[in-house]
Amino acid sequence: MAMDTVGDLARTLILRTHHTRLNRDLDRLGVEIATGFVRDPTAHLGGDVNGLLAIDRTLAQLETYRVNTTEAGFLTSSMQTALEEMQNRSEHLSQVLLSSELTPTDDMLQTMSSEAENALGQVLNGLNRNVGGRFLFSGAATDRPAIIGADAMLTGLRTALTGQTTAAGVNAALDTWFDGVGGGFDTNAYLGSGTSLSPFQLSRTETAGIDIRANDQVFRDILKATAKAVLASDPTLALSTDVKVDLLAEAGQDLITSQESMVELRASLGTLEARIEETTTRNSAERTATSIARLDLVGIDDFETASRYENTRAQLESLYAITVRSSRMSLTEFL
């Protein structure tokens, strides 16, 4: 009787050992089928994992570059859209203002100034464009608007133009406010940073510096011309009709002149967009090739692994059947 008991215990221990091993193998094979990679790369590579580590470092770098190129592409595309809107609005306004000499009635001049005020608000809104919680034209200070609103700007300009009665005087005051060192634009209007965004690292050798800020000269010129048209008919300045006409016509011409700089800016940005896209394509190709190399190292053969999984499962089921027959265990007791 004692010998039978010892034999039963030994048989049970052996069966449970096989059960544990088969369950472990089944779990491992299930993970490998789900992930497509071996569960223990070190064992699979015989302990030499240097190549695998190098591949994983490369993939991590490429993932960083993917994030950077995506962000840089999104920012430049959003900037391009904003610039296009500003350009179209200022081009339309210039055509309106150039007709001021043809119909110089007070009502028409006031209408033109009102049109300019709407355009000023739209240009400033464009410069304060916010995408994904980042202000596009604030330089490194992406957490705050780039420039003050139209009402605040016009209030400051009215003060700067107080007492001016000639077109030359108004132009001189506007030049001082917008372009002078320490003028109203620098001290009160521009709210962004004097530092541009840090360049984006697009690849091992490529970077993208996006240095377009609301205090760039092209924007100062557009805003100055547009503000000139707004203030030409401002009742607090009480300018003569002739001065109003001169200022509105000059503003229209100034806007046309500023378009050349805007076109150059957009072309430069377009070149940067193309370079980002090209780098993205190269990075994607490298990531694909590197992923294939990793798969070659530690990837599984789907058919072989699935066959081993089914074979192991069949062995486990057979083991359970044998166990039940030999010890009349219930499934619950066996597990």
Q: Over pLDDT 70: what percentage of the chain?
A: 79
Vertex 195: Cα angle to 194 and 199 (nearest 5): 155
How does DSSP assign 205-224, residue by residue? Answer: S-EE-----TTSHHHHHHHH
Using CA atoms, how far apart are residues 8 and 59, in angstroms rounded to an integer? 54
pLDDT higher at 326 or 183: 183
Asked if pLDDT for residue 176 goes beyond 60, the answer is yes
Domain 55-289 is in which class? mainly alpha
159 and 153 Cβ atoms separated by less than 8 Å: no
**301 within 8 A of 295, measured Cβ to Cβ:** no
Q: What confidence tens digit (pLDDT) does each residue in 306-318 have?
A: 667 667 676 766 6
Q: Which residues pair with 201 in a beta bridge?
A: 207
| Whether 122 contacts 90, CB under 8 Å | no
pLDDT of residue 221 exceeding 90, the answer is yes
Contact 82, 212 (CB under 8 A): no
pLDDT confidence band for 6 (50 / 70 / 90): very low
Which pLDDT value is given to residue 156? 96
User: What is the model's pLDDT at position 330?
Assistant: 47
pLDDT band at 331 (very low <50, low <70, confident <90, very high): very low
- What pLDDT does 72 receive? 96
CA neighbor of 200 nearest in space, from 208, 212, 191, 211: 208
- Residue 245: pLDDT band (50, 70, 90) is very high
**Can you tell me the mean pLDDT for 13-17?**
69
Q: What is the mean pLDDT of residues 293-318?
A: 69
Instruction: Determine contact, residues 271/43, Cβ cutoff 8 Å.
Output: no
Residue type, 198: S
